A = this chain, B = another copy of it.
């Protein structure tokens, strides 16, 4: 099922921070990882990810370092900072509150029977 593009926004940073919780990743890798972990639901685009990562770096939620792989390609790895971990926790609980509220509204109705 095709996800409506406009359904949700602003949760991409939450997802990216969450991915980095388990260890440092480089951008291209995040795209694959997110797709895998969401069973192909979240297809993060490069044009979305890189500006987002730069923003997270500016805010101090992640730090970046370059590393050249055996293949010879230079990869830019991102690391979750302490601040990033705090932000992640906040965003997670905000998401949970939001999802709960959605559940209440979507379940609450249908009293026509």
Residue numbers of A with Cβ under 8 A of B are 1, 3-4, 6-11, 14-15, 18-19, 21-23, 34, 37-39, 41-42, 90-95, 97-102, 104-106, 108-112
Q: For A105, what are the chain B residues with a Cβ–Cβ distance below 8 Å?
A: 15, 18-19, 34, 37-38, 42
The 6 closest A-B pairs by CB, nearest first: A41-B101, A6-B10, A38-B101, A9-B9, A7-B10, A4-B94
**A91 pairs with B9, CB closer than 8 A:** no
Question: Judging by beta carbons under 8 Å apart, are A97 and B1 in contact?
Answer: yes
- Which one of B42, B93, B99, B108 contacts A99 once the chains associate, using CB atoms below 8 Å? B99
Tell me which of B15, B106, B111 contacts A95 (CB under 8 A): B106
- Which residues of chain B are within 8 angstroms of A111 by Cβ–Cβ distance? 22
Contact B93 A7 (CB under 8 A): no
- What are the residues of chain B within 8 A of A42 when measuring CB–CB? 101, 105
Residues of B within 8 A of A8 (CB): 8-11, 98
User: What would 5 more interface pairs be, CB under 8 Å, given A22-B112, A38-B102?
Assistant: A4-B90, A4-B91, A8-B8, A22-B109, A42-B105
